[in-house]
Structure 1
Amino acid sequence: MARAKKQDAAPADDSLWLSATEKEAWTGLVSLILLMPGRLEAPLRKVDLTLFEYLTLSHISEAEGRQLRMSELAYLTNGSLSRLSNVVKRFEQRDWVVRFPDPTDGRYTIAALTDVGYRLVVDAAPIHVQAVRDFVLDPLSATDQQALARIAAKLKIRPSDLT
């Protein structure tokens, strides 16, 4: 938010305002947060997936046995359990995923990728990877990519932060 000063008003408390450097960092981040998902999602429309759906399927595909607890999947996709449950329900209707109680702890539900779901991920992955290269990685140097990874790790919300 830009600082608005009236000529006859007392100076505002500087702690309430961002410095020029802070504002540049903040507005840059907000632009990325708002614009990047659309850029990364548009190519996935070729395979009738949203970015959230692709990330959900992808995380399951990378897990041991192609299965994950729903709570872990919600964390990995940065989605609520209710949103994830609705998406996985649609996946079940398309035969991409099956859900079942965790055999080691029945309080949890496992989402497992079917062979049909895995083939979809394999088909969608090159599309997603190309978009990530085009819009995120290729514009950055190796040093920039390392800095981005370091910054993202610092800003990432962990499950312990949510309690």
Structure 2
Amino acid sequence: MEDTVFTKAMARRTELMEELEKIENFLKLYRTLSEESVTLPEGVQPRGIRAGRRLRTRSRPAPTGGTETIAEAAEMAIKNAKRPLQRIELLNAIKELGVDVGGKDPAATLATVVWRDKNKFVNLKGFGYWLVSEPFAPAHYDPSSNDTKGAKANLF
């Protein structure tokens, strides 16, 4: 009987830890997206997510947010990096912001979201994804110019 109680307690502990991890991801994303600084209540310390922990997922996990959330996180990741990001770099940066892209192949899902948002993103050949509205001199990309061929841009 004692083993059953212990097993149930351990299972509940795992569920609570997974829920806490989700909350921590949300708080991290909220702090990042918020223009105001967030003050934690007295005595409350932010917790990091332990490396190597993985949440249980379905065979095809759904994104934590819609495509708008993923696109917003991608935009923020590129702005934070201050340079174009390759697809895997962008995916990792988005994960660090606490957004789970989801899908059977998260990198492909991300590429589709970015590809569909042509008003926000451009793929600079040899450099990665960049913001359509921002110039990027190393790739000779100038959004005010209509000459995208000279900009080495792949406009999808």
**TM class, shorter-length:** 0.3 to 0.5
The alignment's TM-score, normalised by the length of structure 1, stands at 0.41
Q: Which has the higher helix share?
A: 1
TM-score computed with the length of structure 2 as normaliser: 0.43
